[in-house]
Amino acid sequence: MSQAEGQFVTLGLGAEVFAVPVAYVREILDYAEPFAIPEGPAYLLGLTDVRGRGTPTLDLRRKLGLPAVEPGPATRILVVDVPADGRTLSLGLVADRVIEVAAFAEAQIEDAPDIGVPWRSEYIRGVVRRDSSSGVGSFVVIFDLARLLTSQDAAFLAQAA
């Protein structure tokens, strides 16, 4: 891998493909129902036991404003360590499926679009255009994990853990 490339875990939410940098991903777990936390934000599913420690678990669909779906056999929880407000916050992110680890050159990453996407673009670091087997291009949307959480979110989640 050259210095201008980064590795990303790609994940699916419906037909959309997103990615998070491998450097932030600690592990990927099969889905298990989190332990609910009362009075949390709607996107906070609760706490997941990760090696004996309660880890706040977010529904990425709800956080992005996409419709919620029932977990299926391919549903996974990505356990990530996110830098937020001067500390590292461990979180579980629920995705419909984990696809692969992919390498993207920095030159492939385009700026996030301002319009035309069904989710809030401030959470997006950029997009990568990929050619599919059908000859039609598709996009991988790269999350900016630090911006996915507001400072209010980070404070609540740190308190919940």
Number of alpha carbons in the 13 Å side-chain half-sphere of residue 78: 29
**Residue 60: φ, ψ to 5°:** -60, -35
- Look-up: residue for tokens 């709800």? 62
pLDDT tens by residue, 17-46: 999 999 999 999 999 999 998 888 888 999
The pLDDT value given to residue 135 = 47
Give Cβ neighbours of residue 136 (< 8 Å, ≥ 6 apart). Answer: none
CA–CA separation, 46 and 58 (whole Å)? 7
pLDDT tens by residue, 108-137: 898 876 655 555 567 788 889 876 654 455
pLDDT tens by residue, 78-110: 999 988 777 888 999 999 999 999 999 989 898
The pLDDT value given to residue 1 = 46
- CA dihedral over 66, 68, 72, 78, signed as positive or negative: positive
Model pTM? 0.84
Across the chain, the runs of DSSP E, i.e. the strands, are 5-13, 16-21, 25-30, 44-50, 53-59, 76-84, 87-95, 97-105, 109-110, 124-131, 137-143
Structural domain count of the chain: 1
For 108, the domain range is: 5-160
The pLDDT value given to residue 42 = 85
CATH at residue 28? 2.40.50.180
